[in-house]
Amino acid sequence: MKGIITKTTGSWYEVQLADGDKWRCRVKGKLRLKESPTTNPIAVGDWVEFEPEMGDKQGIIMGVEPRKNYVVRQSPHKRWQLHLIAANLDQAIVVVTLKQPAIKLGFIDRFLLTTASYRIPTIIVFNKADIYDEFDLEFYEQVREMYEKAGYSTLLVSAQTRQGLDELRELLKDRLTLISGHSGVGKSSLINCIQPHLSLTTGEISNHTEKGQHTTTFAEMFSLDFGGQIIDTPGIKELAFANMTAQDVAHNFVEIFETGKNCRFANCMHQNEPFCAVKTAVENGEIGESRYQNYLVILDEIAEQDYIKRQKNW
Ligand SMILES: Nc1nc2c(ncn2[C@@H]2O[C@H](COP(=O)(O)OP(=O)(O)O)[C@@H](O)[C@H]2O)c(=O)[nH]1
Ligand SMILES: [Mg+2]
Ligand SMILES: [Zn+2]
């Protein structure tokens, strides 16, 4: 039998069949032990083959179909290992807000880097529009322009006033969408507005830290009654890139890559090289200053990781 993984909780996997029926499956031992570059062999969005077992709608997963794409993050416990977040996506949404909690452009750029290796279309959704004052709106315009110039779509919404929710719904229709973003930005609230029957738990923001509580622990896929599915992810706090080379990073900051084709030196990394088209574009405001700075920060991190790996002979 064949189905799609809708939920993973440690050793159990929820598999949904074409007719909507859900089965509880385990993974065949061999599949789990098979050398895998990731800490988990299967993720939400994977298509799997399974054999029914004794018991009510229980099965054993025998194999995973090739993935059209996937997103990973570093394992929280093992620095050099990757953890599969989701597979076979049509698009990804990163939900942000200008305040409560404050926007972190570094996180946006890191998330865009994780989806760029497979060129998964990624949309930046600015939530909580209802609490933006005129200064926030001015800053929002700048940020929006910067990302649109880089080639990304953006959307301004509010789960509170329902502003922009028709557009969001249209965006989700008939597609498999990964929804990500820091905890507290309003992911679950937005999903609840669009599909009230899901009634996902939403967290109150503590005034103390301005950080949301972690109310979602596992990535989970939900079907939308108007067509399509979404994957709600636990608040991803940090994204690091031990798996990438400096060239990968240069390749996957999409506008830097495009502009970089005009650099004098073909192997220009846009750091200190002369006649660098990227640096010129940053000076002219065609590439966002924060985009460029975050690019440099990530290159530094990778140089440091490579240094450690060499020291330890990995
Ligand atoms: N003012 C305002 N608050 C919102 C909005 N959306 C969500 N919130 C609040 O933000 C907090 C975190 O929301 P939640 O949906 O749990 O965020 P998640 O961690 O990203 O799933 C909750 O207290 C929500 O009531 C919005 O559009 N406007
Ligand atoms: Mg949530
Ligand atoms: Zn350059």
237 Cα: distance to centroid of ligand 1 (angstroms): 17
Say yes or no to pLDDT of 213 above 70. no
* Pairwise CA distance, residues 213 & 207, whole Å: 11
Per-domain residue ranges for the chain? 2-66, 71-232, 246-311
Is the C-beta atom of 45 inside 6 A of ligand 1? no
What integer best gives the mean pLDDT of the chain?
Answer: 90
Same fold, 2-66 and 71-232: no
Superfamily designation of domain 71-232: P-loop containing nucleotide triphosphate hydrolases (3.40.50.300)
Phi, psi values for residue 5, rounded to 5°: -75, 125
Number of helical H runs and strand E runs in the chain: 9, 13
The beta strands (E) that lie in 198-299 are given as 220-223, 229-232
Does 153 or 38 have the greater pLDDT score?
A: 153
CATH code: domain 246-311 is 1.10.40.50
Q: Which two tokens stand for residue 225?
A: 């009654």
Residue whose CA is closest, atom 26 of ligand 1?
A: 128
Residue whose CA is closest, atom 7 of ligand 1?
A: 186
pLDDT at 35: 56
Terminus-to-terminus CA distance in the chain, angstroms?
Answer: 41
The pTM is what? 0.92
Is the C-beta atom of 203 inside 6 A of ligand 1? yes
Q: Which residues on adjacent β-strands are paired with residue 107?
A: none
Is the C-beta atom of 217 inside 6 A of ligand 1? no
Phi, psi values for residue 32, rounded to 5°: -75, -35
Instruction: Compute how many other C-beta atoms are within 10 angstroms of the C-beta atom of residue 193.
Output: 17
Q: Which two tokens stand for residue 51?
A: 């054999």
Say yes or no to pLDDT of 215 above 90. no
Q: Say whether 228 sits in a helix, a strand or coil.
A: coil
* Pairwise CA distance, residues 59 & 172, whole Å: 31
pLDDT in tens, 159-171: 999 999 999 999 9
CATH code: domain 2-66 is 2.40.50.140
Residue whose CA is closest, atom 28 of ligand 1?
A: 128
Is the C-beta atom of 180 inside 6 A of ligand 1? no
Say yes or no to pLDDT of 32 above 70. no
Across the range 180-194, mean pLDDT stands at 93
pLDDT at 39: 78
pLDDT at 36: 64
Which amino acid is present at 282?
Answer: V
